[in-house]
Structure 1
């Protein structure tokens, strides 16, 4: 199976690429800066790199052609300082998702799995004090980042409701899943990931997640489809 990955140049993307290759898939990797990829990925005959920016619809369309699924590991940098890769734009990730969804609809691709954060709140979420304080701080210090996450969640849930926000029938039929993640760390986890809702692991301790376990969660969900049109919280 061919899979298109957006946001594969960071550490979480590296873990996802490794897990995807381990499961014998081929990859089309959409990247603004392919030079950031590890040489083993750039030289792999099972990875095709498409260079482009998230506002370039033709590049996104090209990267999705022939794929069965889109995996999205994009994080907003709206309003952050330029020296850390920030941008002065608004809703960068929301608009990227919209472009990806439109391209998928045009090509007839149904499966999309992305990642977000607990800035988006689900009705079944409980209280986790550490996450609540972290999201509150983000809302004050980086309001554009917070807004971008919230609006991405609204975009996806509007698809799940069957055409709100101007979505076409084809867009509404996309089988999307958006996995919210806490603090991520490198290295193996001592336990398998869990998918559920905020607060199920306790209301005080800060949840964490290994990048390796996140990669497994994404690909397991691609196979199993337990959270189609759902927004679970993932931690280990």
Structure 2
């Protein structure tokens, strides 16, 4: 498949690009700073652009089978209206010309999923320390849920850099088993890729936990 990945130069984005290439997909990485990607492959194309540029986003989306977003925030712990706007531009382009499938990386702690994190993360860290990032994710999830396209929102906990284990849990009612649950970016990337051709969580938000 031809996959377009936004946020490809971030830590999770790079894991997703590598996993997609390993599975034989044709990958287009949309990045603002190409030097951060540090991946070369015959099936990888790199588009340099800014998600705040409506025309750049629309031009990138054409001709792909699915879109995956690992977009984070420009400055940690701060509100970032640019990325919210970028998600809106993606949706508008997909509504006009396709593709229909969007896989969006969010965070376990957004909306009703906060209760799944337990008292430390869900009751203290998320509402106090991560409130701006969570509010941004909620805004972006709202745009996606109302879009009418075929979306899946993936909500992992804290992310780590370990190898893929394939032993994590996914679903709606699962609960954290530790105070600071952590999942490897490699596992998250593998799950996001699986969702491209799997309708189990179509138009649903799904939690991931170790």
TM-score scaled by length of structure 1:
0.80
When residues 181 and 18 of structure 1 are mapped into structure 2, their CA distance, relative to the original with a 3 A threshold, is same
Task: Tell me the alpha carbon deviations over residues 87-132 of structure 1, each in whole angstroms, 9 at most, x when there is no partner.
Answer: xx74232211111011111212100001111341227954611321
Equivalent residue number for residue 64 of structure 2: 67
When residues 123 and 13 of structure 1 are mapped into structure 2, their CA distance, relative to the original with a 3 A threshold, is closer
When residues 5 and 191 of structure 1 are mapped into structure 2, their CA distance, relative to the original with a 3 A threshold, is closer
In the aligned structure 1, how far is the partner of 2:114 from the partner of 2:106?
17
Alignment equivalent of 1:108, drawn from 90, 98, 114: 98
Q: How does 1:162-201 map to 2 (within 5 A)?
A: 171-172=147-148, 174-197=149-172, 200-201=175-176
When residues 130 and 60 of structure 1 are mapped into structure 2, their CA distance, relative to the original with a 3 A threshold, is same
Find the residue that maps to 2:205 and give its secondary structure: coil
Q: How does 1:127-142 map to 2 (within 5 A)?
A: 128-132=118-122, 133-139=124-130
Task: Tell me the alpha carbon deviations over residues 149-176 of structure 1, each in whole angstroms, 9 at most, x when there is no partner.
Answer: 221122223x1xxxxxxxxxxx41x110
Q: Does 1:53 align with 2:50?
A: yes
TM-score scaled by length of structure 2:
0.89
Q: C-alpha displacement at 1:198, in angstroms?
A: 6.5
In the aligned structure 1, how far is the partner of 2:31 from the partner of 2:113?
34
Unaligned runs of 5+ in 2: none
Alignment equivalent of 1:154, drawn from 131, 142, 150: 142
Alignment equivalent of 1:221, drawn from 176, 195, 202: 195
RMSD: 2.2
Mapped contact 1:128–1:198 kept (Cα < 8 A) = no
Equivalent residue number for residue 32 of structure 1: 32
Compare CA radii of gyration and give the structure with the larger one: 1
Q: C-alpha displacement at 1:20, in angstroms?
A: 0.3
Q: How many residues align?
A: 209
In the aligned structure 2, how far is the partner of 1:127 from the partner of 1:199?
9
